[in-house]
């Protein structure tokens, strides 16, 4: 049974009474796509005959805007690719061979391939047993109630962990991290190490405006037994389209590392490319096409 993915959208996007199903008929999306697009969690339906307040109208307009964005994103997604078709394949090589016909590869790690789905989403496909474990670990981390909104969101995933659909995150350099957060990268790493390893951490070393975010990162790392080695790598952190600083690659927990990376190297499934790079990132994305700005939201 698939675990229910938590709704971490902003509250203003969860409490509206807008019923977007009323306009589905205007789009020739087919039942499965329309159903997927309209899974906006926590949408109580408006009471018939009620007169909406000004705040309700604003929220409904926000919902309408988001729904239109989802429709346009679906239309702009890679032509020919259909996630419902991909879900029918039973083996990783079958999925891999289907996906590579339509989607642009973004990165090749030791255990997973990453593909660009749209301006907001990516697809991660396992290449070997380590990739299956990393996909499973990311779902576990994301669905853990102790995990705050400091990791890339997961929108969909395979119950057998062959693939998952995650949030597109723009990697940050040290300078970009410091510019956006107004906190030095090395200072962040030093505080993280001292907090997680018991090295004389002092709260005053964390800027006031970053304490809520930092504490959420620490709680997430401790609750999920994440490797400190992953947390202190700069290109494992990035900025989302809604201006959150998040961990974009969080599948290498201590359990996964002990199982797959001690004294051995993961072997790919038969029929899957053996080409590897050092990271599963977004080197081939034209970030200039995505006007995400340079602000930061805690």
Interval 5-34: pLDDT, tens: 776 655 444 444 433 333 233 233 333 433
Chain-centre distance for alpha carbon 285: 16
Work out the percent of the chain whose per-residue pLDDT is above 70: 63
Same domain, yes or no: 41 and 184:
no
Query: What is the Cα–Cα distance from 215 to 204, expressed in whole angstroms?
Result: 13
In a domain, 46, yes or no: yes
Q: Which residue has the higher pLDDT, 253 or 295?
A: 253
* Domain span holding position 68: 29-76
In a domain, 63, yes or no: yes
Same domain, yes or no: 143 and 39:
no
CA 64-8-151 angle, to 5 degrees, is: 125
In a domain, 7, yes or no: no
Same domain, yes or no: 138 and 72:
no
Tokens of 182: 């107004």
Same domain, yes or no: 46 and 184:
no
List the one residue out of 126, 125, 101, 104 whose CA is nearest residue 116.
104
Encode pLDDT of 146-157 as tens digits. 888 999 999 999
Same domain, yes or no: 116 and 212:
yes
Query: What is the Cα–Cα distance from 143 to 131, expressed in whole angstroms?
Result: 18
Same domain, yes or no: 115 and 215:
yes
Same domain, yes or no: 107 and 172:
yes
Work out the percent of the chain whose per-residue pLDDT is above 90: 42
Q: Which residue has the higher pLDDT, 46 or 130?
A: 130
Same domain, yes or no: 140 and 39:
no
Same domain, yes or no: 200 and 279:
yes
Q: Which residue has the higher pLDDT, 268 or 188?
A: 188
Same domain, yes or no: 64 and 88:
no
Q: What residues are paired with 108 via a beta bridge?
A: 113
Least confident of 69-78, 150-159, 181-190, 192-201: 69-78
Same domain, yes or no: 55 and 114:
no
Q: Which residue has the higher pLDDT, 267 or 201?
A: 201
In a domain, 56, yes or no: yes
Tokens of 59: 């929220």
Least confident of 5-19, 69-83, 248-262: 5-19
Average pLDDT in the 220-235 region? 88
List the one residue out of 235, 251, 231 whose CA is nearest residue 190.
231
Q: Mean of the per-residue pLDDT values for the chain? A: 76
Q: How many domains are contained in the chain?
A: 2
């Amino acid at each position: 049974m698939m675990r229910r993915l938590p709704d971490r959208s902003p509250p203003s996007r969860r409490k509206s009474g807008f019923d977007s199903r009323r306009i589905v008929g205007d789009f020739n999306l087919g039942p499965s796509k329309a159903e997927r697009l309209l899974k906006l969690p926590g949408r109580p339906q408006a009471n018939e005959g009620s007169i909406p307040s000004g705040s309700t109208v604003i929220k409904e307009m926000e919902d309408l805007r988001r729904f239109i964005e989802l429709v346009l994103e679906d239309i702009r997604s890679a032509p020919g690719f259909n996630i419902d078709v991909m879900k029918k394949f039973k083996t990783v090589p079958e999925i891999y061979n289907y996906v590579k016909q339509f989607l642009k590869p973004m990165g090749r790690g030791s255990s997973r391939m990453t593909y660009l789905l749209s301006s907001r989403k990516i697809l991660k496909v396992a290449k070997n047993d380590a990739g299956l474990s990393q996909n499973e670990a990311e779902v576990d981390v994301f669905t853990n109630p102790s995990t705050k909104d400091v990791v890339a969101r997961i929108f969909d995933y395979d119950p057998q962990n062959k693939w998952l659909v995650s949030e597109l995150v723009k990697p940050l350099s040290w300078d970009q991290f410091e510019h956006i957060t107004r906190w030095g990268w090395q200072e962040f790493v030093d505080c993280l190490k001292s907090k997680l390893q018991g090295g004389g951490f002092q709260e005053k070393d964390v800027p006031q405006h970053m304490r809520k975010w930092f504490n959420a990162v620490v709680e997430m790392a401790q609750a999920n037994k994440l490797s400190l080695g992953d947390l202190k790598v700069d290109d494992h952190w990035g900025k989302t389209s809604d201006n959150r600083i998040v961990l974009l690659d969080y599948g290498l927990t201590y359990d996964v590392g002990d199982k797959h990376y001690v004294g051995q190297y993961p072997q790919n499934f038969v029929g899957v490319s053996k080409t590897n790079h050092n990271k599963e990132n977004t080197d081939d994305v034209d970030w200039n096409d995505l006007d995400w700005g340079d602000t930061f939201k805690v």
